[in-house]
Structure 1
Amino acid sequence: MRTDAALLTASLAGALTLFPACAGAGSGGGEVSADCAQLMRFEDVVYVGFGTTGRDVSEEVGEGALSDCDDMGQDPQGAFFPTEPDKVPLVALEGYEPAEVIGVRADDGTVTIYVAESVPDEDRDAILEELG
């Protein structure tokens, strides 16, 4: 006979099989966690996360606020900034203005790229190609 925990695990696994995560979200198509784009807020600018780079960083520019994701239930709100968001140190990428492109350095030295939502798609694509 199955235990309640085993039944719950099997039910969750079945639900995940029936409802796979979407491949993209938002106008920029940034990296997603289920239906939520990876967002960062810094100095009243919202940035969308797009992959990583090994590009050199010039300096730390401050702390950014990470978005949360609400993609479950009857009325999901998607990516949002909570009242007290998690904060991470941000770095400037050499050759780019922090008002347009910032990064978050990981322990392995790679940097997650965040591009301001206000950057036009064609400029964003060129930036990502240069940093890739």
Structure 2
Amino acid sequence: MTRKPVGGNLLLAAALLLSACSTDEGPTSESATASDCTTQIRVGSAVYSSYGTTQRPASRHAEAERAVCEDVGRDARGSVFPAQPEHVAAWRFPGYPPSKVLAVRYDTDSFHVFTADSLPDAERDRILEDLQQRPG
């Protein structure tokens, strides 16, 4: 009785999957990389990252700079603020300091919630959960 190697087909499938996911910019792109992007805004020197959505009411607060996504190429940097960033309106939620959380309008009834990058994950989670559950 001949036994087939169990991992042979799995290794081939994995190799095909990985090659399908890789980026190839041609023969000269020996060090091409990819980077993940997080939607970010900046007000002054404070950077905020998108953390969810809410329908909680908010009031206009300040103008914010929006980061761009540089996620492919030889020097993929992820989310970066260019020299001439796009500006968006930043909103604040009553009862929350704008140093911790801001928002950008998503549609007429919703906002993207942006939490300060300086906050621990547990506090970000608590703020988002509160904004999504409590009425304004």
Global fold match (TM > 0.5): yes
- Counterpart residue type for residue 114 of structure 1: F
Aligned residue pairs total: 102
Which of these two proteins has the greater Rg computed from alpha carbons?
A: 2
- Counterpart residue type for residue 76 of structure 2: P
Q: Secondary structure at the match of 2:96?
A: coil
Q: Secondary structure at the match of 2:73?
A: coil
**Aligned residue in 1 for 2:47:** 46
Question: Shift in Å at residue 38 of structure 1?
Answer: 0.7
- Counterpart residue type for residue 40 of structure 1: I
**Aligned residue in 1 for 2:78:** 78
TM-score by length of 2: 0.69
- Counterpart residue type for residue 86 of structure 1: E
**Aligned residue in 1 for 2:106:** 106
Q: Secondary structure at the match of 1:131?
A: helix
Distance in 2 of aligned mates of 1:44 and 1:120: 18
Two-structure CA RMSD over aligned residues (Å): 1.8
Q: Secondary structure at the match of 2:128?
A: helix
> Gaps spanning 5+ residues in structure 1: where?
1-16, 21-33
Alpha-carbon deviations, 1:4-59, whole Å to 9, x = none?
xxxxxxxxxxxxx9339xxxxxxxxxxxxx710111101210000012100011x2
Distance in 1 of aligned mates of 2:121 and 2:107: 30
- Counterpart residue type for residue 84 of structure 1: Q
> Gaps spanning 5+ residues in structure 2: where?
1-18, 23-34
Percent of aligned positions that are identical: 35
Question: Shift in Å at residue 131 of structure 1?
Answer: 1.5
Q: How does 1:1-132 map to 2 (within 5 A)?
A: 18-19=20-21, 35-57=36-58, 59-132=59-132
Q: Secondary structure at the match of 1:52?
A: strand
- Counterpart residue type for residue 131 of structure 1: L
- Counterpart residue type for residue 18 of structure 1: A
Question: Shift in Å at residue 107 of structure 1?
Answer: 3.2
